Structure 1
């Protein structure tokens, strides 16, 4: 993926174009997604290192910026990872915060349906084949007006995240990793509930449950723990 760098005479305009796309997309959504994207935009505007393409901010500082508690920060950052808008560049450890970067191509693909509402000049600028400035590594703007989203582009829509459960965020994460695998095995799994640190999932058939348990249980558990560290076991039942 090409990266946006804060060099060259067009760099500032490219940043504004990206933030405009995010804002237009959020305004067409409900209150939950609006608040989530606004929080990301504020964080990016305040703390994103465009030259290095990274975000290195502790949860306490983010909580102060967003006027929320650290639990909310953890939940919102997990949603942004599940959407694919933020990816972990370096996992945090003792004395070191997690380092993120924006997946700019993913953000543009997700927001492309809102470009026309911004204006024809914006849409034309974002869909041209290249930015003619040798000093700038541009945004990945070679997206056709036909769209890189939706079933017509060989993609299937991600799960609805409105219920806010850990399983919905995990499904969105799995969808972003491999849509074919997601459609075949993960989409049909439903959340039955929690038993302490155990997440209970329901499969549509015994074969489906046995196959997922044999081949993908560890993958699902790893995805669960990336959004909710309190999950230490996944059980698939029929």
Structure 2
């Protein structure tokens, strides 16, 4: 998925679209999810710098805005980082608070299933905006050397669950880059994947590793690392 940045001529509309997507996702979830998304939306609408993709706010200030204690702030901010909805751009040090950014791609991926609750026009518009953000580099689907897909190989373990998540998020990207990967035996806490070529492995490590790691953690919290090597 190509992420439309809320800047430029249509910045205002794109900001509302992003917040609308988050709102629809929250309303479709349980009360705990609703509260977490609402708290993030409060940070976005009050302190987030759209142009620089920066959120700089101390825990005490966040606690006051959310009307909670700082322990709750630490817990919920950790949950947002784990979900990939916020990212640490610069770690705080010597009395300075951390500089955070939004994980826009992850937010859009996680909320996409609920866009239709807003309306078909919203779903279509979000798809068009993603395309206008720019086409990805030339993507060439690969096949395993034996001519079968990884799915046809009948692999066991957690990899099929991770594959299913990645397929649901972006079928085209999955077919091109994730489907050809196969799992190999690895040590505890490490998912070892084998790519059909050195180029394929390098591309996945460079451009798609974060998405792989997120899908792995959501499928199995004990997985702390994903390694991709050529076959």
Q: What TM-score range do you get, normalising by the shorter chain?
A: 0.5 to 0.7
RMSD in angstroms over aligned alpha carbons?
A: 3.2
**Compared CA separation, residues 69 and 116, structure 1 to 2 (3 A):** same
* Matches for 1:75-154 after TM superposition, within 5 Å: 75-128=75-128, 130-131=131-132, 138=133, 150=168, 153=171, 154=174
2:5: which partner in 1? 4
Deviation per residue, 1:94-151 (Å, 9 max, x gap):
22101110011110000000011111110110112534xxxxxx599xxxxxx96638
Could you say what secondary structure the match of 2:131 adopts? coil
Distance (Å, rounded) in 1 between the aligned partners of 2:35 and 2:48: 19
SS where residue 101 of structure 1 aligns? strand
Q: In 2, distance between residues paired with 1:96 and 1:127?
A: 39
Tell me the equivalent position of 1:178: 213
Q: Are the aligned partners of 1:36 and 1:76 in contact in 2 as well (CA < 8 Å)?
A: yes
Aligned length: 159
Task: Give, in angstroms, the shift of residue 180 of structure 1.
Answer: 7.7
Q: Does the 8 Å contact 1:14/1:139 carry over to 2?
A: no
For structure 1, the residue ranges without an aligned partner over 5 or more in a row are: 132-137, 141-146, 156-173, 190-211, 220-238
Q: Distance in 2 between matches of 1:117 and 1:26?
A: 11
Gaps of 5+ in 2: 136-164, 179-208, 226-231
Q: TM-score, normalised by structure 1?
A: 0.58
Q: CA deviation at 1:7?
A: 3.6
Question: Structure 1 residues 54 and 149, CA, compared in 2 at 3 Å: closer, same or farther?
Answer: farther
The answer as to whether partners of 2:166 and 2:215 remain within 8 angstroms in 1 is no
